[in-house]
Amino acid sequence: MYLPSWLSQLYRGLSRPIRRTTQPIWGSLSRSLVLSSQRRNPEFSSFVVRTNTCGELRSSHLGQEVTLCGWIQYRRQNTFLVLRDFHGLVQVIIPQDESAASVRKILCEAPMESVVQVSGTVISRPAGQENPKMPTGEIEIKVKTAELLNACKKLPFEIKDFMKKTEALRLQYRYLDLRSFQMQYNLRLRSQMVMKMRDYLCNLHGFVDIETPTLFKRTPGGAKEFLVPSREPGKFYSLPQSPQQFKQLLMVGGLDRYFQVARCYRDEGSRPDRQPEFTQIDIEMSFVDQTGIQSLIEGLLQYSWPNDKDPVVVPFPSMTFAEALATYGTDKPDTRFGMKIIDISDVFRNTEIGFLQDALSKPHGTVKAICIPEGAVSEVLKFFSTRNLFANFIRESKRPELIRLMETQEEDVVLLMAGEHNKACSLLGKLRLECADLLETRGVVLRDPTLFSFLWVVDFPLFLPKEENPRELESAHHPFTAPHPSDIHLLYTEPEKVRSQHYDLVLNGNEIGGGSIRIHNAELQRYILATLLKEDVKLLSHILQALDYGAPPHGGIALGLDRLICLVTGSPSIRDVIAFPKSFRGHDLMSNTPDSIPPEELKPYHIQVSWPTDSKAAKAH
Amino acid sequence: MYLPSWLSQLYRGLSRPIRRTTQPIWGSLSRSLVLSSQRRNPEFSSFVVRTNTCGELRSSHLGQEVTLCGWIQYRRQNTFLVLRDFHGLVQVIIPQDESAASVRKILCEAPMESVVQVSGTVISRPAGQENPKMPTGEIEIKVKTAELLNACKKLPFEIKDFMKKTEALRLQYRYLDLRSFQMQYNLRLRSQMVMKMRDYLCNLHGFVDIETPTLFKRTPGGAKEFLVPSREPGKFYSLPQSPQQFKQLLMVGGLDRYFQVARCYRDEGSRPDRQPEFTQIDIEMSFVDQTGIQSLIEGLLQYSWPNDKDPVVVPFPSMTFAEALATYGTDKPDTRFGMKIIDISDVFRNTEIGFLQDALSKPHGTVKAICIPEGAVSEVLKFFSTRNLFANFIRESKRPELIRLMETQEEDVVLLMAGEHNKACSLLGKLRLECADLLETRGVVLRDPTLFSFLWVVDFPLFLPKEENPRELESAHHPFTAPHPSDIHLLYTEPEKVRSQHYDLVLNGNEIGGGSIRIHNAELQRYILATLLKEDVKLLSHILQALDYGAPPHGGIALGLDRLICLVTGSPSIRDVIAFPKSFRGHDLMSNTPDSIPPEELKPYHIQVSWPTDSKAAKAH
């Protein structure tokens, strides 16, 4: 296995693919940090005692006196050891002559993962002993002096085993996990990509990076907001889910173009692959429309996209919410593969099959289907255990029409669903993804891992019926979203039919961003909040007032950075692109967080713990 | 008053001074955005409906058809109005002919601070009507179409008056305050300076921008940490005062060079010019010593320093803590002016003056003095009301020696202090600053506002006696600070004498940063925590364990960004460089934060409010 220098690619961008891996592959990570005219090469050894990084040494360094600092990765027969730093690995020859006894002692006795500093000369490896799989494989270090900077105690496990261990162990010893190639790569790629985003927004397009408070007021319906007790009895701050109000107020304040890499908080209890604190690229602009924001974001992603991936092609395709639901059964379609939902209601208009008849007779009743290519070969049918059952019900005469509509081939499987339009689509959408998973476990490549398929989903409904009381409305996204210009008249007659100026950005079936043009008219905002949503307007009086005092038309978007980097790096979880993530239960397993607090430390905040008294409450946690 | 273009200076850097001002001076803010070879010019009008910003138009745009968006700043006699955006002001001619009645109506009837969009042609002002004080003063806009984007309700005050109003009013209507030149300038300068810092750290020196959690475990002695109740009964997160533990763990994890523009939290109750959440430039490096960190920071500030200020000269001078205390009576000396503390104990060794005799006979007893130049002329003495009193006590024979030591001139005033060394110095240090204030109110220029005087203060004590029990020790900074290499042996015998490898960065008498080389040896860290500081080691067991598993030598620093930008912009308060600051009582006056929470929203967090029962507790808030 041979890998080009991941670090020079990250920082300067040769267009070579980096293999995704979850195994430490330090041996083959780095290549010469060739100077690029595009970008200065960072000085990795400025201000410190080392002269070079381990991973950067090449034949071009032959004869140089170098000082290196790193961890002992490997030692063989007390003749050489492999030294590792963030940049890569280098082979160090342990001197065998009597005069170097003290150096020899240090290098032979230091336990694995100890930190040492060595000085010596870069020499050629003896002919035939070069290691072409190792970027530094042509050279080795002839050591003159060595110093043990810190000895490593015996690890509670072999580092190699550790990498295969449970995620709980990785999180408990996060500082060891961070030494792995994959974590180093993920965190550095994240840093570089965010830096390029900042460059694009700040230097190319005049955006202002503005920090907004995280100690704020609870927002209406903000049941998922963490609370922070203040020193005033009964008064609390909330940790907001986004800087939504502040970004809009900045537009009212004439800042024109705002962005922030914003820390956000959401308390959703235990949820897999969610974090109680997360980061979004938060953007707001004045005098902009939906197209403007979309072009901005397309340019942003294109500009910041890692050089080791295929370039991003713009503009991104766009699809209405209605179309996404009808075709993919979801508002975040994975458009890397087909298996689209087809409406086959017409085939069965006069059917004698009871349940189809029944479904079609109801409001919004439909018959929908997806075709799973080679589903029969891939034994998808076994999963559904309905093989050959339903097909018999369909009259011979209907079959050609169905085959034509579905473009079915030999050995394909057609899954059919009858029922209310939205529900039927939604269920088929889920089946579509499950079938894709099934097919891929059978070796069919449906979703090319090197493909990044962006999609805008637009024209969402502005309101949705409340789940607990479908006769009342709630915002589909948030109450500041502007209605679609064509639908404004419906606000006063059939508000449930109003589309919004909200847009979602979807990547490979994941929502990675969402935004909208906002309401800038105070009267409209008041009507929607008070009359349609029946919210407590007092909690938002500052926003309504701000809109009254010369708010410009404005709109924005937020990109979920953790999810985006997770997809870019092909990581199985967002925890792999966060330095110190919480477990799915919201715990920091390294430090045992959250933790008990002595009662006297609660006193200044005028709170006390309500210990659950009955078993039911105790069981709930 | 004539000002060069503040915006082009910020983004590209012509070396022209910007006048500090707290008044809105939009009329004279911008000049041509000349292209610079150094830096691309941001496209301020990309993705939006406008073709140009108001402030950028010049004679070179003559004849161009432009579309502008902005706020109505001013209107005269229904013949012209002045339109404002973030970039500056431009004059718009209201058409007088009958055919343009609708445009005329819009522009004449829209209230001040309304938002309008106008399209028209850039034309020359009639000869003699150019305004040389206005960057756009050679041209005006002949309007063809106009649209009222949002009408402004009658403001609760005149914008001009508002600027002179109390800070409480400014904070309550922050979105209006943000429209002022000074706030626009401060926030944009902050954004640009941070961007340059990122460029320096990330692109020039290979630092990795890594986000660390803010929902963490309380730290030992973290009484100033906000608490965040979790959904587990009795379990709390804390909002940490800094990412100290995480940055060290990142070094153990081999990240080598970390930085973060980090949000930090400190609950100090009501404190003037402090904020419950604040921002620091947080930095940590492996294999570095004190000199390395200092050089890094000097380079960082030099690189990111605004172009409209005098360049930063490096290296910064350095002074030991002992020297700073003895010479300036403080660990953050303002070295822009003299009035240093002089030890005059020897003059009074055999004095007959009782209280001097008394002071000198005690341990560390000294007599110290400062000389206030022209203090008599400036009537400083009136302030002290001791004029001519003490001088009479001093024997004629002593006077020449005193005058020589103090380098006293005619009309100078000497302030003398007798007592224990540290206390005497500390008091004189405070008097020195108060005298400087007094002198400056009398018109003496002691502290040049264009001068930025950086200073390193080093060799702090590692421990201080606890205030409540002086026989016990506490960390002078934090328990991870490494002892001075020359003093390590004293740790086991006279720990109170051990100096640390802590360093503070001082600018014009303000501490703007602090850091240290950290302890990387687990045994030493354990000894200091458990034996010397008697801390609960359990709370930090993860750190001790991490040090055991191959922690590299490392060190770092944190710069207080709010204070730094406050000094750079010459703002009276850090609230002027924060978009949405809290009041000194920790309130957001715009939104009424913190606020009450309905009891049912406390339930998921298993807390309840302990309402104060007696009047004393109620009075405390």
The 10s digit of each residue's pLDDT in A9-53 is 666 543 333 333 333 344 333 332 223 334 568 999 999 999 999
Instruction: Enumerate long-range contacts of B479-482, CB under 8 Å, 24 or more apart.
Output: B479/B220, B479/B525, B479/B528, B479/B529, B479/B533, B479/B535, B480/B244, B480/B248, B480/B516, B480/B518, B480/B519, B480/B525, B480/B543, B481/B516, B481/B517, B481/B518, B481/B519, B482/B516, B482/B517, B482/B518, B482/B519, B482/B520, B482/B555
Q: Does B170 touch chain A (CB under 8 A)?
A: no
Candidate from B191, B204, B277 with C-beta closest to A40: B204
The structural architecture, per CATH, of the domain B338-442 is 2-Layer Sandwich (3.30)
pLDDT averaged over every residue in chain A? 89
Q: Does B549 touch chain A (CB under 8 A)?
A: yes
Q: What is the pLDDT of residue B34?
A: 29
Say yes or no for a CB contact (<8 Å) between B608 and A608. yes
Nearest C-alpha of chain B: how many angstroms from A461? 25
Q: Does A147 touch chain B (CB under 8 A)?
A: no
Q: What is the pLDDT of residue A23?
A: 38
Nearest C-alpha of chain B: how many angstroms from A139? 23
Mutate to test the interface with A, among B45, B118, B211 (most CBs of A within 10 A): B211
Maximum CA extent, chain A: 98
Give the DSSP letter of residue A99: G
Say yes or no for a CB contact (<8 Å) between B553 and A150. yes
Under a CB-based contact definition with an 8 Å cutoff, are residues A34 and A69 in contact?
no
Nearest C-alpha of chain A: how many angstroms from B495? 24
Mutate to test the interface with B, among A35, A48, A170, A225 (most CBs of B within 10 A): A48
Q: What is the pLDDT of residue B536?
A: 86
Q: What is the pLDDT of residue A17?
A: 35
Q: What is the pLDDT of residue B384?
A: 56
- Type of residue at A344: I
Backbone angles phi, psi at B610, to 5 degrees: -95, 95
Q: Does A159 touch chain B (CB under 8 A)?
A: no
Dist. CA B70–CA A272, nearest whole Å:
46
Q: Is the dihedral of CA B283, B287, B289, B294 positive or negative?
A: negative
Asked if residue A604 has pLDDT above 60, the reply is: yes
CATH number of A59-150: 2.40.50.140
Dist. CA A480–CA B163, nearest whole Å:
29
Q: What is the pLDDT of residue B13?
A: 45
Q: What is the pLDDT of residue B522?
A: 97
Looking at chain A, which residue has its C-alpha nearest residue B618?
A233
Nearest C-alpha of chain B: how many angstroms from A462? 22
Residue boundaries of the structural domains of chain B: 59-150, 185-318+454-576, 338-442
Other Cβ atoms within 10 Å of B289 Cβ, number: 16
- On chain A, the residues whose CB falls within 8 A of the CB of B115 are 550-553
Q: Taking chain B (621 residues) in consecutive chunks of 10 residues, what is each chunk's mean pLDDT?
A: 54 42 37 37 95 97 98 94 97 95 96 97 96 96 98 84 78 95 96 98 98 93 88 96 97 98 92 92 98 98 95 97 98 96 92 88 94 77 56 74 86 90 96 93 89 97 94 95 97 97 98 98 97 91 96 98 97 96 95 93 95 63 46
Say yes or no for a CB contact (<8 Å) between A255 and B86. yes
Looking at chain B, which residue has its C-alpha nearest residue A601?
B223
Helices (H), B442-540: 522-526
Say yes or no for a CB contact (<8 Å) between A210 and B191. yes
Q: Which of residues 328-367 of B touch A (CB under 8 A)?
A: none
Q: Does B546 touch chain A (CB under 8 A)?
A: yes
Asked if residue A92 has pLDDT above 70, the reply is: yes
Q: What is the pLDDT of residue A220?
A: 78
Classify the complex by whether its ipTM is higher than 0.90, answering yes or no: yes
Q: How confident is the model at residue A396 (pLDDT cuts 50, 70, 90)?
A: confident
In this prediction the pTM is 0.93
Q: Please give the CATH superfamily to which domain B185-318+454-576 belongs.
A: Bira Bifunctional Protein; Domain 2 (3.30.930.10)
E strand or H helix at A90, and its extent? strand A88-93
Q: How confident is the model at residue A400 (pLDDT cuts 50, 70, 90)?
A: confident
pLDDT, tens digit (0-9, with 9 covering 90-100), for A426-481: 999 999 999 999 999 888 889 998 999 999 999 999 999 998 899 999 999 999 99
Q: What is the pLDDT of residue A5?
A: 62
SS3 B363: coil
Percent of chain A with pLDDT over 90: 75
Q: Does A113 touch chain B (CB under 8 A)?
A: yes
Q: What is the pLDDT of residue B18?
A: 38
Backbone angles phi, psi at A465, to 5 degrees: -65, 140
